Amino acid sequence: MTERAGAQAHFDDLCELLGVDKPRDRDNYCFERGAKKMGGGDGWADVWKRDHFAWKNKSPKRDLVKAATRIATLFAAIQQGGAYGSDDITWFNGGLFAHIDIPPLLPADLACLHRVAAEKDWRAIDPTIFGTLFESGLDPNSRAELGAHFTDVATHPEKLLTR
């Protein structure tokens, strides 16, 4: 699966999980929308919704420090108001962005997330979502070597054999 396909499948799964529309309108809400980069030049937003957001997915082993710096810059623009790339950001009142900190995700944090997730009843969640998330989290180069590919229930070989 390419970075693009993984990002789109991941975003579609999030939309399904949240019960919101998926990006299917080229003029207002879509995948792969051309955008001006903050540092100059042309780039792409993996998901774009007019007057709402642009989303850039980062595949494993990409420069996440650079992405975190961009997020901190955006939060600073929101905190004070002003320019962010080619957009003017309105000041947000209320102190939401008064302290900008992007903390590292530590083993204790992961243990806490695991503990809370283990307490939930996940039976109502379509397993396709988890399969897609798992597959998109693997290194694309080693995924093929591992033979790791999620097959959803609708196309599972057992169903094909019993027909």
Nearest CA to 73 among 82, 62, 61?
82
Of the three residues 102, 129, 152, the one that is the final residue of a domain is 102
pLDDT digits (tens, 9 = 90+) for 93-136: 666 667 777 778 788 988 898 899 899 888 887 777 777 777 76
Q: Find where tokens 């599972």 sit.
A: 156
Of the three residues 102, 118, 151, the one that is the final residue of a domain is 102
44 and 76 belong to one structural domain: no
Nearest CA to 34 among 46, 24, 23?
46
Predicted pLDDT of residue 22:
94
Tell me if the pTM is above 0.85: no
45 and 12 belong to one structural domain: yes
Q: How far, in Å, CA of 137 to CA of 7, rounded?
A: 10
29 and 9 belong to one structural domain: yes
9 and 48 belong to one structural domain: yes
Q: Find where tokens 């939930």 sit.
A: 120
Q: How far, in Å, CA of 90 to CA of 163, rounded?
A: 58
Range(s) of the domain holding residue 7: 3-62+103-162
Nearest CA to 2 among 53, 37, 68, 46?
46
Q: How far, in Å, CA of 37 to CA of 123, rounded?
A: 42
Q: What is the DSSP letter of 25?
A: B
pLDDT digits (tens, 9 = 90+) for 3-45: 777 778 888 888 888 888 999 998 999 998 887 776 677 877 8
What's the total number of domains in the chain? 2
86 and 139 belong to one structural domain: no
